A and B are shown apart, each in its own frame.
Chain A
Amino acid sequence: MYQGIRMSGFGGQGVISAGILLAQAGLLEGKNVSWFPAYGAEMRGGTANCSVVVADDEVSSPIVSRPDTAVVLNEPSLAKFEPMLKPGGLLIVNSSLVNTKPKRTDIRVALVPCNAIAQELGTIKIANMVALGALAGLTGAVSIEAIAKALPKVFKRAKPEILELNVKALKKGAEAKAE
């Protein structure tokens, strides 16, 4: 198993944190992992993204240029990462914010209304966890349990009820289906 993942969205949507969480979860499951942020000339309101690799083998380049899976939480990310996906790859789209439909027919697409689901659970802040849950459910790269275990390791100062809410979002996301 070698999963090259790209996660992308507006700065503030939590794609960088979700990426760290994913890598931490992979580590807890005994996988080889890497996490690499885009650290260019980033700006407020701009798009942030990170690369995560979860693998049984050694991780070669931590920069994922041909992702197996891409998570796009906003409109500009779709335009950037849809063309980069490997044929047969998985595209997880936050359909609450992304109105454009993916064009490629050689990939699997999961339209997940991350913001709407997060709002239903209580706060829009956990939209990234819904997306991460969908990724875990659809790829099997890591388990929801591992992510739940990784949560307090990454968010050391988070209150237990907040962590619990995050786990709820992960589980809800994991119900997502891809076409």
Chain B
Amino acid sequence: MGEKILMKGNEALAEGAIRAGCRFFSGYPITPQNEVPEYMSWRLPDEGGTFIQAESEVAAINMIYGAASTGMRCMTSSSSPGISLKQEGISYCAGADLPFFYANVVRGGPGLGNIAASQGDYHQSVRGGGHGDYRVLVLAPNSVDEMANFPKKCYELAFRYRMPSMILADGILGQMMEPVEFKFEPVDPKSFKEAGWELGLAAGRRKRIVRSYDLREGELEKINAARLKKYREIEEKEVLFEAKQCDDAELVVVAYGTSSRIAAAAVKMARDKGLKVGLFRPITLWPFPKKQLAKLAEKSRKFLVVEMSMGQFVDDVRLAVCGRIEVDLYARPAGIPSGEETFAAVEKSYKSMTPARAAAPAKTAKPKGKPGRPRKKPAKKAGRPAKKTRKGGRR
């Protein structure tokens, strides 16, 4: 702790996982995340852990199912096409309530795509990804330092709620080098207490079963209902985000991961030109900071979503604000915007804010009123528009 060291994102991720207590890794190579298994292959044995280069992604994730069933901290990682292959296994882990940690160092897609950075796996990550009704905890780092420190958070959440957790990174975060400071002491796996569901030596105790199915009538619904309750609790308690210069912002740029740091540069340029622009960055993508965005929508005039995909992340932003505020989109599917390009998008979005919207006090007052009487209020407050409607009615 304390000293800053220069590390590659993928290596920081691997080291962060080991320091957080990971002692089993299985994976299969794919660019741009190859440094993760490479690092694990020499570093894990040093710590008495096990590294396996599996024969395929499918094998790797099923080894994780086995390792996670014993309650140990295990990990797999891959990049987009490889993560797709792992989805069935991830769904099984979610179905069996198994905690484990994985990372997707996203590359361009669909298909084989390319090996550059992209944010095209957003939907896959935050909607579960495999078959069936489930979620995984998704953390989105935007620096190598966070790549190093988030695995610990991921393990803590995964074990607290008995479910898979993941880091959604991209080729830039995986390949770049930046100063890193591990902000925690290495965790000793021997210090973990048994929770009571883990498989292992069964002599002298009642049997335990880890499985992702229940064929008895009505039982699966009960299990899923309990899981839903757990998800609701997570949405209530575990949201992480960062808001910069949002207090007086008329336009709020919303971005996560790599695009959030590029957006930060654009926001700085905008502030230098006197434009009131802020930055909102979700750190957990599931649970999504819905409430925080909805609150922000009450005091700002417009949102601009910046994402390195066609418009996936923007869906969640729009759902969160529920039509209360205009949400623009600057989408770069499998492209990496520069700060200047992003600033151009910010300026365009800012200048196209209609003065009428800003002047309408009804907009900001609306959420304060009780629901159920929306018709009366605008009529009372905004005299002019009401008259116009009447005139229109006469015609």
Contacts and interface: CB of A to CB of B under 8 A. Distances in A.
Interface residues of B, number: 23
B172 A39 contact: no
Contacts of B176: 34-36, 62
A42 to B, nearest CB: 11
Most buried by A among B6, B178, B268: B6
Interface string B61-99: 000000000000000000000000000000000000000
Interface stretch (A53-61, A99-107, A156-164): A53-61
B265 interface: yes
Contact of A60 (B171, B179, B262): B262
B265 to A, nearest CB: 3
B245 interface: no
B177 A23 contact: yes
Nearest to A52: B177
Given A34-B177, A39-B175, A60 B339 contact: yes
Nearest to A2: B265
A40 B6 contact: no
Contacts of A24: 6
B306 to A, nearest CB: 12
A63 B6 contact: no
A34 B178 contact: yes
A20 interface: yes
A60 B339 CA distance: 7
A11 interface: no
B32 interface: yes
B340 interface: yes
B79 to A, nearest CB: 12
B80 to A, nearest CB: 15
Contacts of B177: 20, 23, 34-36
Given A23-B6, A27-B4, A33-B6, A66 B340 contact: yes
Contacts of B171: 39
Nearest to B114: A40
Contacts of A139: none
Interface in B168-197: 171-172, 175-179
Contacts of A34: 176-178
A59 B178 contact: yes
B265 A35 contact: no
Contact of A37 (B4, B116, B175, B340): B175
Contacts of B264: 58, 60
A123 interface: no
B32 A33 contact: no
A119 interface: no
A36 B336 CA distance: 14
B261 interface: yes
A57 B261 CA distance: 12
Contacts of B32: 39
Interface in A30-86: 32-37, 39-40, 57-63, 65-66
Interface in B19-36: 31-32
Given A33-B179, A36-B176, A39-B31, A60 B336 contact: no
Interface string B227-263: 0000000000000000000000000000000100110
B115 interface: yes
B338 interface: yes
Nearest to B269: A60
A126 B116 CA distance: 31
Nearest to B180: A27
Nearest to B177: A35
B175 to A, nearest CB: 6
A57 B336 CA distance: 21
B261 A61 contact: yes
A39 B172 CA distance: 10
Contacts of B31: 39
Interface string B253-288: 000001001101100100000000000000000000
29 contacts: A20-B177, A27-B179, A33-B178, A33-B179, A34-B178, A35-B6, A35-B176, A35-B178, A36-B172, A36-B176, A39-B175, A57-B268, A58-B264, A59-B178, A59-B261, A60-B262, A60-B264, A60-B265, A60-B339, A61-B172, A61-B261, A61-B262, A61-B265, A61-B338, A62-B178, A63-B172, A65-B338, A66-B338, A66-B340
Interface of B: 4, 6, 31-32, 115-116, 171-172, 175-179, 258, 261-262, 264-265, 268, 336, 338-340
Given A27-B4, A63-B172, 19 more contacts: A23-B6, A24-B6, A27-B6, A27-B179, A33-B6, A33-B178, A33-B179, A34-B178, A36-B175, A36-B176, A39-B31, A39-B32, A39-B171, A39-B175, A60-B339, A61-B262, A62-B172, A62-B176, A66-B338
Q: What are the 9 A-B residue pairs with the smallest beta carbon separation, nearest first?
A: A60-B265, A35-B177, A36-B176, A62-B176, A65-B338, A60-B339, A61-B262, A34-B178, A27-B179
